[in-house]
Structure 1
Amino acid sequence: MNTDFMEALAAVEKEKGISKEILIEAIEAALISGYKRNFHSAQNVRVDINRETGSVHVFARKNIVEDIVDPRLEISLEGAQGINPNYQIDDIVEIEVTPKDFGRIAAQTAKQVVTQRIREAERGIIFNEFIDREEDIITGIVQRQDARFIYIDLGKAEALLPVNEKMPSDQFKHGDRVKAFITKVEKTTKGPQIVLSRTHPGLLKRLFELEVPEIYEGVVEIKSVAREAGDRSKIAVYSANPDVDPVGACVGPKGSRVQTIVDELKGEKIDIVHWSEDPTVYVANALSPSKVIHVDVNEEDKMTQVIVPDFQLSLAIGKRGQNARLAAKLSGWKIDIKSESDATELGLYPKDDQAQAELDEDYDGVDNADDEEYEVEAQEVADHDEK
């Protein structure tokens, strides 16, 4: 090896970000093994690479002893002092034993070590880059697909999107651009393995963070997300600033912000509701778009009993129980929904005449147009269930 080799190592250091000193130390360690293997030596040796010229020297290290047992590892005091009169017992003497044809072995070994270290360093750099992006959103290009995975090109790495983690409405072709959520980044013998998901609730949360500046700036906070990928989702938002409407901020002017997210999720319906510390208010909001007229809270069992108008029972429950199921996931409370007439027959509602009067007054204040809209939607749900 020579100065050209040292210049090459300097270029690798600059291009790949791998310290030249680390590479040289790795080469020295590999050359020790190569020397022992090629020259059948059991000696304790040290390899030294000159940092300026690139020249390689091999030194046998021997202990100074009174009585020599193994001449490959030991030397007498008399022999050591013949090299340097200052040597004493138990000192270590280094004697150069560089073979004449060692340069060829050194060059081959150096090539292998540098190549391996570059590969390891690149894998390490990629891993460090993506481990910091775990639970974040990323955009990639579809490369190919097999029975288990869709392979997504992320530029520096290839990620895996398991088939069961794509949405039912996803139909990917080669070259399609796709946004996905990074669920896991692991080190493997073949490099970092990056696993993606299109069904994870985190994808919805990150999409809102990208589209809604108020969320990115911290003015609006996403408190909870419940999702049935490809079909319907609910998201609860909150703002400590009384002048900011968190739901309006997420919907955007004429619904533009939420529509962008709906388009990305291939038409997935999204309900945006106000978060509240009060479980009676929060559960009622979570059951949107249905109207709730009464909520009983059982703190001990973490359960709520919700009463809705008769004509909105189907809307509150949703297709195959979806609306109630998502509301329960969103709020963290178990929800038992009863119609107003059933609750009255069971003696659960109203509690007293005063409560009934207050509820009647609240109910009369509801816009009839809204009631008609909910009736139509409830009837559509009922018709769908019958089919």
Structure 2
Amino acid sequence: MENLALIDSFSEFKDDKLIDRVTLMAILEDVFRNALKKKYGSDDNFDIIINPDKGDMEIWRNRVVVADGEVEDPNQEISLTEARKIEPDFEVGEDVSEEVKLIQLGRRAILALRQNLISKIHEHDNTNLYKQFKDLIGDIYTAEVHHVRPKAVILVDDEGNEIVLPKEKQIPSDFFRKGDNVRGIIENVELKGNKPQIIMSRTSEMFLEKLFEQEIPEVFDGLITVKKVVRIPGEKAKVAVDSYDDRIDPVGACVGMKGSRIHGIVRELGNENIDVINYTTNTQLYISRALSPAKVSSIKIDEANGRAEVFLKLEEVSKAIGRGGHNIRLAGLLTGYELDVIREGNAAEDEDVELTEFSDEIEGWIIEEFAKIGLDTARSVLRQDVADLVRRTDLEEETILDVVRILKEEFED
């Protein structure tokens, strides 16, 4: 048959693609009608019969019989002589149906038909894929590493769909090899030309929230609500949780016995340190809990400017700030307040300066040496005995005396 190439196409797409019979038939008819329009100028008087299951199709052209020499539109009309070649008893005014073979469209048209068919099927697949993953935005998804690029990891799911995990959406400690299974959240679906690009993220706050839903039954069942999540991916996170049932301890339920429940989440996130906090509408108590593990003495809130002064004993300051300032930064993001740390003590004692403020006069590596033994302010260094500092640090006595002189000048001024 001259339509063999197209018949092969029907079978190929019907078997390989997740496409229903009605949609396939509609696409095929649309492709044929476009070809007929190009060939005959109109497809209004054509009937197309398609049976994709059998790989069979027929095209019939309907024309009206007119007297010889009176044909004005060859596509719509046929002369009596030509009509009687089809059926000898036709008369003027009658309708004639004549089958059109694909070979009559020409070899080029047949090749174009196949290409058009492939294009339409791909377009349909892309539209379905876009809709499918648009509905999955915000959900956890698992896919396998196909190959690793410098700026992204390309993943493939069980259906062969390609998913992109950009470098900036990866946790800093993430390391992937081909064949690894990767979990993340579908963050976005972007159209690149006609092809959808599916973006996965492992750094999103939503990923951590969904992990809580997946790993903690009470969160999944709605007995515990995750009120807010803030995180510095791979470093630290704070999660505020609440329960409308007073019999349930939301923090205890999320953490589990000896951290058993949260351990899997921590491991998934590259050992990200997760603080689970009991949510409350009491702003002072909420800020105090958010600054855990530091113990807050008192809090002064400036609602108008969205700021809060947090008063802490000297030994609690470093806990409140945390390594790299992560703890206080996340506490601020969680509560929505800009937090100012105020050290408690006498008026004179209260005046203190972070060692990092002296970076113009004291080299960074020297400041780091003091930080290693828990000394991060000027007064915390000045309270120490010089001989003791020589013993506890890798600094020479001359260097320490020089630092002490610089720090004393600050307070003398």
TM-score bin, normalised by smaller chain: 0.7 to 0.9
Deviation at 1:225, TM superposition (A): 0.9
Name the counterpart of 2:133. 130
- Worse-superposed segment, 150-159 or 44-53: 44-53
- After the TM superposition, which residues 198-217 of structure 1 pair with which residues of structure 2 at under 5 Å, given as runs? 198-217=202-221
- After the TM superposition, which residues 8-19 of structure 1 pair with which residues of structure 2 at under 5 Å, given as runs? 16-19=17-20
TM-score normalised by length of structure 1 = 0.74
Deviation at 1:109, TM superposition (A): 5.6
Name the counterpart of 1:160. 164
Pick the aligned partner of 1:56 from 36, 39, 58: 58
**Letter matched to residue 56 of structure 1:** E
1:225 aligns with 2:229: yes
Pick the aligned partner of 1:290 from 291, 294, 299: 294
Distance 2:212 2:105 in 1: 61
Deviation at 1:19, TM superposition (A): 3.7
Compared CA separation, residues 47 and 27, structure 1 to 2 (3 A):
farther
Alignment deviations for residues 27-48 of structure 1 (CA, whole Å, 9 cap, x no partner): 33333443455x5x44565442
8 Å CA contact 1:139, 1:177 repeated in 2:
yes
Alignment deviations for residues 208-230 of structure 1 (CA, whole Å, 9 cap, x no partner): 11111110011111111110111
Pick the aligned partner of 1:144 from 144, 147, 152: 147
Deviation at 1:313, TM superposition (A): 1.1
1:28 aligns with 2:29: yes
What is the percent sequence identity of the aligned residues? 29
Distance 1:174 1:44 in 2: 52
What residue ranges of structure 2 are gaps of 5+ in the alignment?
A: 82-89, 351-370, 382-392, 394-413
Distance 1:16 1:381 in 2: 65
**Letter matched to residue 259 of structure 1:** H
Pick the aligned partner of 2:122 from 119, 123, 126: 119
Name the counterpart of 1:357. none
Name the counterpart of 2:396. none
Q: What RMSD over aligned residues (CA atoms) do the two structures have, in Å?
A: 3.9
Partner SS for 1:382:
coil
Distance 2:148 2:117 in 1: 34
Distance 1:234 1:61 in 2: 76
What residue ranges of structure 1 are gaps of 5+ in the alignment?
A: 86-92, 347-378
Distance 1:381 1:230 in 2: 25
8 Å CA contact 2:237, 2:275 repeated in 1:
yes
Alignment deviations for residues 42-64 of structure 1 (CA, whole Å, 9 cap, x no partner): 456544222469442343678x9
Distance 2:179 2:102 in 1: 56
- Worse-superposed segment, 5-14 or 325-334: 5-14
Distance 1:141 1:192 in 2: 19
Distance 2:270 2:279 in 1: 26
- Worse-superposed segment, 150-159 or 225-234: 150-159
Compared CA separation, residues 310 and 287, structure 1 to 2 (3 A):
same
Distance 1:170 1:138 in 2: 17
Structure with the larger RCO, 1 or 2 (CA within 8 Å, 6+ apart): 1
Distance 2:190 2:63 in 1: 42
Pick the aligned partner of 2:185 from 172, 175, 181: 181
Deviation at 1:243, TM superposition (A): 0.5
